[in-house]
Structure 1
Amino acid sequence: MISPLANPESSPSQTPDSATQLAALLEGAGLSPIDHVGWIRVTGEDRVRWLNGMVTNSVQDLQAGKGCYNFLLSVQGRIQGDGYIFAEIDALLLETASEQVPGLMALLDRFIIMDDVELSDSSARQSGLSISGPVAAALLKTIEFPAVPSGELERQIVTWNSADVTIIHAYSPLVPRFELWASPETAEALSRALLSAGAVTCDSQSQEWLRLLEGTPRYGTDIRDRELPQETGQTRALHFAKGCYLGQEIVERIRSRGNVHRAFTAFRLEGALPAPGALLEADDKQVGELTSIAGIPLPTGSVQLGLGYVCREALERGVPLQYPGGTAVPIPHPFNTVEATKPSSASESSERV
């Protein structure tokens, strides 16, 4: 499939550099093809009850057009995948990374016993665009897009230029973000219209920088199948009053006993930029690891940032965290893109994480 942003007449000199793209995402509007997302469609009379028993959030509370973030767990409470579930009148839609689709389909299928539930991979039906940034909603209105959802994880199907377009107000802790899903032809038309209105084409590098600035973990990179839900800090994926689900006993045991021993944390990195997987040490003991790392050219000045895990005891004590070649200073996330370049003490920052 041709990317919705493909332009056979463009040249490398016409493509903004990654720093310009990031500035557009933070201060204007950046447009990217969504080429890494897959969809699992869940149908059948028992779909709501059944899927509610498979994921960590409350699917049974979703009204049509609403969504929620979820983990899928093993019996031991370890995270096997993640995704957003949206309710339609006659179906539930699970949006996840495309590489997760086969594994999650197999995992879910094993638990369909006597249930009236059917799973289907609907990933290839539509093309997707992401429009992100402070002026993203304004640009959509400029091209006479008929509706822009105001609430996070709201999903609507509208008509634009006589074609159906699904718009989702995506999870957006730092800047507004919207997903547009349509036929390949309509997606290309939307792309041309938004670029003409002032959106800037953005590649995967600038989107990755935005993810680190948000402090959003990615499954397969920051979240692995050995992590427990509370270790990731993603409480938005958990519902503690929904009843039983796969892995719920472990999640509830952690909640009732208090915090886990390690926490997903954002860091400012002072020193050489390490490789992902670099270990964190305090008092000559291993206390954590860095899972995502990047030097990011912010409009206010470059900064080295990382995401990873660290022992809560080390955070609470505010001890210096060392990695090979430098120091990791815990800082809040999502990042204040102005404050992130200013020096701060590890003890002051750890109190805010």
Structure 2
Amino acid sequence: MPTSAIDAQDAAAIQAVTEGVAVCDRSFFGRIRVSDTDRIRFLHNQSTNDFQSLKPGQGCDTVMVTSTARTIDLVTAYVLEDAVLLLVSPNRREYIMQWLDRYIFFADKVQLTDVTAETATLSLIGPESHAIIEKLGAESILGQPYGSHVVVNGNLIIAVGSGLASPGYTLILPVFEKEKLWSQILELGAVELSDRAWDTLRILQGRPAPDAELTDDYNPLEVGLWQTISFNKGCYIGQETIARLNTYKGVKQNLWGIRLSGFAEIGSAIAIGDEKVGKLTSYTQTADGHFGLGYIRTKAGGVGLKVQVGETEGEVIAIPFVSHEYPSV
């Protein structure tokens, strides 16, 4: 069933993301605790980012990929004093637990614990989120790099980054503390953002999701997740393919936003004239109109390109969560 136009409450929350502050309950995301003495080395070898350069109190986004560099999930990692906490997509939690477990060998000192049921995740999103963070006692992370975090009151992790391209913070805490903190955040002026509005925002901003933009058909460079990839960290699963694509500028398709003239079915072909140049992967509708995400062949063009998506006209636009520039490495 297509996503229909959002209601007034969702529209107000999305506006708060731009002008004020919204709070979203992201507890439906999975949380995996990786502990024991080999945890950093292990995660360094299993995903695209450089874990060995991180210290406790730091974090990063990283991509779990197959041996041929196909995307499994976009994961946020927080390096704690005694563990690394992974925030994973809802529909990838069990798969990633099993996938990581497969790579733990007899001599490895690595423990995986699914802590999803006993923890909760909230995201504060918007330019006014800083004021709430200050009142929650985490003023020390204001202005710090993405993924930086502190532990407040012994069990509340507050981290820089909203999970979207908008400014904000991610809070991870014991589930029994969630209701109290949720009420406190609303009292401090945040507007509630529903799961549906979160999904609308992630499409508008271009955050890729498993089973849509993150599948066996695409690699992280095609998605545009350059910020999650270390090109000089050495060997990891999928590294050879990613290095080759980067060295030879071999990205054949890119993820873009598409402003649509009307409804379009997910999976629809994206075409220029009679030539198919891509596929629509996500669709939403807001008060401002129809919008989608889709992969388009690099040679076809980028921003400003006029396309046909199924029976609907569209125009390619940039999305803030991803980038298609080759960084200097």
Q: Same fold (TM over 0.5)?
A: yes
Residues 110-121 of structure 1 mapped to structure 2, 5 A cutoff: 110-113=102-105, 114-121=107-114
Equivalent pair of 1:153/1:171 in contact (CA under 8 Å):
no
Q: Give the partner amino acid of 1:257.
A: Y
Query: What do residues 83-113 of structure 1 show as CA deviations (whole Å, max 9, x unaligned)?
Result: 1122122222221013212111111111111
Matched with 1:215 is: 206
Q: Distance in 1 between matches of 2:39 and 2:176?
A: 32
Matched with 1:55 is: 47
Question: C-alpha displacement at 1:203, in angstroms?
Answer: 0.8
Matched with 1:283 is: 273
Matched with 2:97 is: 105
Matched with 1:96 is: 88
Q: 2:158 aligns with which of 167, 175, 197?
A: 167
Matched with 1:192 is: 183
Of 314-323 and 131-140, more deviation after overlay is shown by: 314-323
Name the TM-score, length of structure 1 as normaliser: 0.82
Q: 2:221 aligns with which of 218, 226, 230?
A: 230
Question: C-alpha displacement at 1:17, in angstroms?
Answer: 2.0
Q: Distance in 1 between matches of 2:121 and 2:255?
A: 30
Which stretches of structure 1, 4 residues or more, deviate above 6 A after TM superposition? none
Matched with 1:158 is: 152
Equivalent pair of 1:67/1:86 in contact (CA under 8 Å):
yes
- Larger Rg over CA atoms: 1
What secondary structure, in the 3-state scheme, does the structure 2 residue paired with 1:157 have? strand
What secondary structure, in the 3-state scheme, does the structure 2 residue paired with 1:17 have? helix
Q: Does 1:310 align with 2:296?
A: yes
Q: Distance in 2 between matches of 1:334 and 1:75?
A: 28
Of 188-197 and 55-64, more deviation after overlay is shown by: 188-197
Q: 1:258 aligns with which of 249, 253, 268?
A: 249
Question: C-alpha displacement at 1:262, in angstroms?
Answer: 0.6
Q: Give the partner amino acid of 2:113.
A: S
Structure 2: 5+ residue stretches without partners: 1-6
CA RMSD in angstroms comes to 2.3
Query: What do residues 116-168 of structure 1 show as CA deviations (whole Å, max 9, x unaligned)?
Result: 21211121222222221111121343xx3111423321121012xxx632111
Matched with 2:3 is: none
Q: Distance in 2 between matches of 1:17 and 1:85?
A: 31
What secondary structure, in the 3-state scheme, does the structure 2 residue paired with 1:123 have? coil
Q: Distance in 1 between matches of 2:163 and 2:85?
A: 20
What secondary structure, in the 3-state scheme, does the structure 2 residue paired with 1:212 have? helix
Question: C-alpha displacement at 1:175, in angstroms?
Answer: 2.4
Matched with 1:124 is: 117
Query: What do residues 8-57 of structure 1 show as CA deviations (whole Å, max 9, x unaligned)?
Result: xxxxxxx9622112112221111221222111111222222222111111
Name the TM-score, length of structure 2 as normaliser: 0.88
